[in-house]
Amino acid sequence: MKFLFRQLSIHSVTLALLMLSAFGEPERMVLSTEGSGRATAYIESPKIISFHGKTHVAWLDTPAEGFRIRTRTLDQTTGQWTPATTIGEATDNHGGPALTIDAEGYLHVIYYSHHHPFRYRRSVRPNDASAWTEYEEFGRDLTYPSMVCSADGTLIMVARRSFEDKPWHLEMWTKPPGQPWSRQQAILSARYGVYSQYGASLAWGADHRTLHLSFRLYELPDYDTKRSEGTVGYLVSPDGGETWQTSSGREVTLPATADTVDVIAHGLEAHDRVLHAGSSAVGPDGLPYIPYDVRVQETCQSYLATPLGDGRWNHLNLNQFLPPAFREWGLYMHGGIAFGTTGQPTLVGTVMRPTRTEHEWGHPSTELVRFRSRDCGQTFIADIIDSPNPDSPRWMPNIERPTGFNEMSAHPSFIYTDGVRGGALKDQLSNQVIFVPGTPAP
């Protein structure tokens, strides 16, 4: 398949936060004060679904009894929220939910696993997150689900598969209506048999058949040096996941590797070059929009990549759009992008100031930043979501994006975590989970 391609100064953080955004500021909602250290992670897993006047939100809590998947629903007409419903438990802070919805309005959720089988449930009633079927287990040694719903109601899920004796895969599973989950194929494979992570994001084209896959492949060649290799890459399927190819139409033999996909960016930790990628989206022009970052020593630059044709990509630097008071901060793509009904993109990420020897994941200086465009992603206006707090991060934004049949607002809503990461997989914390609703068109 071939694509058709188209080719101020302020001096304080307080003033930066008061910059005119021209979009209006919606009222936020604290959904929980029991959020885990990864309450709204990961970018792979959609957690917000809007449909026929309701918005359903899922996240990972840590009440006294352990890790729990929770959901609440907003009535868009009255502005009222339901009490929290507990869907099920998770094995640790990696077991958070992935949501989607079918054409009839039934919600579908995958959760629980960190190198385990997944658990799957469906809502008992359409557009109602208060009651769920008994869970079904499927798969083996799976983590980080990304799920969408096909035009015929078939659920498609990709997730990392871990092995003891060979390189880890990104596996694809499907569930036709009324049938069990079944494994289809490994789409991606690491090149080393030690540890890998995929950070995979799925997005439908306008035809609801073309399926775009972007990812940040993190590969660890060995445990002794612990020096990773990172690749931000892309593949597209013209037939709903049966076959895959690059943006230039070159067919790819599965499982693909970092050597055979579209390589958007590459980095070696040994060269102080570390990559991340956010969840991607397909714009009104039919092109995939893939946000990613490159950290080099104490600086981090973020980009929005779109294909130009013949395997080439345009890379729009996003740091230039930060509020002036934050231009010296690092911009990280622990977030994603989505297009609302206006056809304009909204992008969420994080800014922070770690030193060269500090890890950025959950760094206490982390603040949430939102980018909004009025010219289809050529330029952006950015705002910092909260007043900076140097002792605790606001982070892990998860933006609503189309998964098949959910209905987008003019500017997409998102959730995020206000609180610390914790020190271990099983830590029980009391973080806030905060919902920022979609905003009306300017």
- Tokens at 307, concatenated: 């294909």
- 440: confidence class by pLDDT, cuts 50, 70, 90: low
**Region 390-416 average pLDDT:** 96
Q: What is the pLDDT of residues 105-123, one digit of tens each?
A: 999 999 999 999 999 999 9
User: Residue 375 and residue 353: Cα distance in Å, rounded?
Assistant: 30
Which is nearest to 385 in space by CA: 421, 354, 348, 360?
Answer: 348
**Region 74-92 average pLDDT:** 97
Given this model, what pLDDT does residue 290 score?
A: 98
Whether omega for the bond prior to residue 26 falls within 30 degrees of 0, making it cis, is no
- 24: confidence class by pLDDT, cuts 50, 70, 90: low
**Region 320-338 average pLDDT:** 97
- 53: confidence class by pLDDT, cuts 50, 70, 90: very high
| Average pLDDT taken over every residue of the chain | 92
Q: Which of 219-228, 260-269, 332-341, 390-399 has the weakest average pLDDT?
A: 219-228
> In sequence order, which residues have a C-beta less than 8 Å from that of residue 233 and are 6 or more positions away?
214, 215, 216, 217, 258, 261, 262, 263, 264
Q: What is the pLDDT of residues 207-262, one digit of tens each?
A: 999 999 999 999 999 888 778 999 999 999 999 999 999 999 999 999 999 999 99
Q: Is the pLDDT of residue 351 over 90?
A: yes
> In sequence order, which residues have a C-beta less than 8 Å from that of residue 319 and are 6 or more positions away?
301, 302, 327, 331
Given this model, what pLDDT does residue 223 score?
A: 84
Given this model, what pLDDT does residue 55 score?
A: 97
Percentage of residues in the chain with pLDDT exceeding 70? 93
User: Residue 384 and residue 1: Cα distance in Å, rounded?
Assistant: 39
Percentage of residues in the chain with pLDDT exceeding 90? 88
Q: Is the pLDDT of residue 18 over 50?
A: no
**Region 145-168 average pLDDT:** 97
Which is nearest to 369 in space by CA: 354, 383, 390?
Answer: 383
Given this model, what pLDDT does residue 206 score?
A: 96
Burial class of 22 by CB neighbour count within 10 A (0 to 12, 13 to 18, 19+): exposed
Beta strands, E only, 150-259: 155-161, 169-175, 182-189, 195-197, 201-204, 211-220, 229-237
Beta strands 229-237 and 262-268 are: antiparallel
Which is nearest to 347 in space by CA: 329, 372, 324, 330?
Answer: 372
